[in-house]
Amino acid sequence: MPGSRLRPALVLLAATLLAVTGMVTVASGAAAAVEDDGADCPVSLPGLFPSSAKLPDPFKKIDGTRITSKSDWRCRREEIKKLAERTIYGEKHPKPASVSGTVSSTNITVNVSENGRSASFSAGVQLPSGTGPFPAVFVVGGFGADTATIKASGAAVISYDPLAVGKEGTPRNNKQGAFYSIYGSSSSTGLLAAWAWGVSRIIDVLEQSGGQVLKPDALGVTGCSRYGKSAFAIGVLDQRIALTMPIESGTAGVPALRAIPGESGSQGLSNAYGEQPWFGDAFSAYTGNPAGLPVDTHELVAMVAPRGLFIMENPHIDWLGARSGSVAALGGAEVYKALGAGGNISYWSDVQDGTHCASRPEWRTPLQQNIQKFLLKTGSAAGTFRISPKKAGNLAEWRDWTTPVLTDGPGTTTPTTSTTPTTPTTPTTPAGDGCTAAVSMNQWTGGFVTTIRVTAGAAPITGWTVAASLPAGAAVTSVWNAGRSGDTGAVRFTNTGFNGTLTAGQWTEFGYQGTGTGTGTTATCTTG
């Protein structure tokens, strides 16, 4: 889908230059820029939602039909947004009646007014060397982000203090900060949506400034830990963010909410809900029942599509739930693939240093590549999946839905058939004796992750073996949900104790990580 269909058009307004060099003053009352291009889609949420232990189908509309074209995603995304606001975040609220401010080479100020209430906040600016205007990355909270690499790559840093917009350490019935000054201290909206609202208002000011200092159409966001949760929510809830880069976000960030309770050592949902009012108040109903949620974080990952997304996780600290994070990333990547944008998502948890919010050498090159591709528009590096074997999630355990092949033309709805086995979007392989093997892959320079789906034929099976033929130079380094014999060339994979028995038409998946080039791998399946 063309980016223009999924990103709001930027409305750049004339600005009045002050006598102070480098400063632009923006008048209030100007036309609003669109941060949510599906805001005109009619969405009617039901009062009750069916419960499911599996991740919800991101392609299934509220009315039960499934999208069939890329153009359908626009309104399906709006449904997911409304569901997320209803149950996870609370309402973000659109642009207030009046937004004004200033932009300089060192600072951005924001003034907002709505229904007789006003609030103000600001953000610092650090410019890279060279001549502007510059793309920019919002760094939330001021730590954990590799600001040196961001600036060396040619992007400015906008230092965003979210606590000025939504203060931590406050009770839910007395929330404080600029957002709550406008919408009330007893607002049911959680801090993550409030923090996202603050960045959206800064973007409003950047758009109105005319872009003399910073480019409002080349913006990224990053942050670590609780500010990684914030960076993720900001990218999810504002389509003007071209590149979203959450770091070690943990519970309330990227990790799948349904998977967290089963991941040993990860921060529990109740604990995260009680630690700070990050979640919206309504999430209290789901802390002990995530299966009741009509949405999960793989769909929030998908809401970023087809824009740039680079998820960074730490597998060494159980509290951060990196296994659940990989499940969400893999689930969301299915939407990226269906939209023809599989190369726009990266996930990297394969790191050596376990220090929380460390500046990691493994992430430096992909950080540069993502900035070049999505902000500078000078690069074309494909997305990278580097999943640590310490915290490798298995998407097959969490979904019972198919990944459709979406057309480029107008869409039509199709009924949902939960019994239909999933068909990967990357090449299927020949049928063997009673089962088939289908290969899908994420390739990067020097390595790859392969997922192989085993599907039973017309009769049940009680065991399977997959013979994979790897290209020359490729070598398997780790495997999950299967046994293996061999590392290069002809490699054999066999079922484990829990995934060998399949009913007719049922499927299971296993995966492996390797070095070299995995593209061109073929696989056949035999039973027994």
Domain membership of residue 299 (yes or no) is yes
**pLDDT in the model for residue 143:** 84
Residues 374 and 456 in one domain: no
Residues 386 and 433 in one domain: no
> Which range (7-11, 433-437, 512-516) has the least confidence?
7-11
Tens digit of pLDDT for each residue in 299-314? 999 999 999 999 999 9
Domain that holds residue 341: 3-391
Q: 52 catalytic, yes or no? A: no
Domain membership of residue 421 (yes or no) is no
For residue 303, report the phi and psi dihedrals to the nearest 5 degrees. Answer: -65, -25
User: What percent of the chain is modeled with pLDDT above 90?
Assistant: 75
Residues 191 and 290 in one domain: yes
Question: How far is Cα 200 from Cα 234, in angstroms, rounded to an integer?
Answer: 8
**pLDDT in the model for residue 406:** 94
> Which range (101-115, 401-415, 425-439) has the least confidence?
425-439
**pLDDT in the model for residue 444:** 65
**pLDDT in the model for residue 159:** 97
Domain membership of residue 57 (yes or no) is yes
Q: Which of 365, 391, 417 is the last residue of a domain?
A: 391
Q: Which of 391, 419, 437 is the last residue of a domain?
A: 391
Quick check: 181 and 117 in contact, CB under 8 A?
yes
Any bridge partners for residue 126, and if so which?
Answer: 157
Question: How far is Cα 160 from Cα 139, in angstroms, rounded to an integer?
Answer: 6
Residues 321 and 450 in one domain: no
3-state secondary structure (DSSP) of residue 414? strand
Question: Is residue 421's pLDDT more than 70?
Answer: no
Quickly state the pLDDT bin for 24 (edges 50, 70, 90): very low
Residues 347 and 435 in one domain: no
Question: How far is Cα 24 from Cα 106, in angstroms, rounded to an integer?
Answer: 12
Domain membership of residue 42 (yes or no) is yes
Tokens for 514, please give them: 């390797």
Tens digit of pLDDT for each residue in 58-81? 999 999 999 999 999 999 999 999
Question: How far is Cα 286 from Cα 258, in angstroms, rounded to an integer?
Answer: 10
User: What percent of the chain is modeled with pLDDT above 70?
Assistant: 88
Tokens for 467, please give them: 């013979």
Question: Is residue 474's pLDDT more than 80?
Answer: yes
Residue ranges of alpha helices (H) inside 94-212 are 147-152, 178-183, 191-208
Residues 106 and 164 in one domain: yes
Quick check: 260 and 254 in contact, CB under 8 A?
no
**pLDDT in the model for residue 426:** 39
Q: Which of 391, 419, 436 is the last residue of a domain?
A: 391
List the end-to-end C-alpha distance of the chain, in Å, as a whole number.
Answer: 43
Domain membership of residue 385 (yes or no) is yes
Q: How much is the average pLDDT of 79-101?
A: 97
The domain that holds 473 is classified in CATH as 2.60.40.290
3-state secondary structure (DSSP) of residue 497? coil
Task: Quickly tell me which residue has 């069916």 as its tokens.
Answer: 50
Question: How far is Cα 345 from Cα 354, in angstroms, rounded to an integer?
Answer: 23
Residue ranges of alpha helices (H) inside 256-398 are 269-275, 297-304, 322-338, 361-371
Residues 147 and 270 in one domain: yes
**Residues sharing a CB contact under 8 Å with residue 290, sequence separation 6 or more, in sequence order:** 257, 258, 260, 261, 269, 296
**pLDDT in the model for residue 414:** 52
Tokens for 147, please give them: 């600001």
Cis check: omega of the bond before 2, within 30 degrees of 0 = no
Q: What is the bridge-based pairing of β-strands 435-444 and 428-431?
A: antiparallel
Query: Does residue 319 or residue 1 have the better pLDDT?
Result: 319
Residues 322 and 433 in one domain: no
425-433 LR contacts (CB < 8 Å, sep 24+): 425/334, 425/337, 425/338, 425/342, 426/337, 429/522, 429/523, 429/524, 430/522, 430/524, 431/457, 431/525, 432/524, 432/525, 432/526, 432/527, 433/525, 433/526, 433/527, 433/528
Quickly state the pLDDT bin for 169 (edges 50, 70, 90): very high
Tokens for 457, please give them: 């034929």
Residues 387 and 452 in one domain: no
Q: What are the angstrom distances between the C-alpha of 117 and each of 111, 161, 179, 198, 341?
A: 11, 21, 10, 15, 42
Residues 348 and 450 in one domain: no
Query: Does residue 412 or residue 206 have the better pLDDT?
Result: 206
The domain that holds 148 is classified in CATH as 3.40.50.1820
Q: How much is the average pLDDT of 94-120?
A: 97
Q: How much is the average pLDDT of 460-478?
A: 92
DSSP secondary structure, 76-91, as one string: HHHHHHHHHIIIII--
Domain membership of residue 420 (yes or no) is no
Q: Which of 100, 200, 225, 230 is catalytic?
A: 225
Quickly state the pLDDT bin for 433 (edges 50, 70, 90): low
The number of distinct structural domains making up the chain is 2
**Residues sharing a CB contact under 8 Å with residue 77, sequence separation 6 or more, in sequence order:** 6, 38, 302, 303
**pLDDT in the model for residue 294:** 97
Domain membership of residue 232 (yes or no) is yes
Q: 356 catalytic, yes or no? A: yes
Residues 179 and 114 in one domain: yes
> Which range (219-233, 257-271, 374-388, 408-422) has the least confidence?
408-422
Question: Is residue 514's pLDDT more than 70?
Answer: yes
> Which range (42-51, 244-253, 308-317) has the least confidence?
42-51
Residues 440 and 378 in one domain: no
**pLDDT in the model for residue 505:** 83
Tens digit of pLDDT for each residue in 369-408? 999 999 999 999 999 899 999 999 999 999 999 899 999 8
**pLDDT in the model for residue 27:** 37
Q: Which of 118, 185, 356, 359 is catalytic?
A: 356
Quick check: 316 and 349 in contact, CB under 8 A?
no
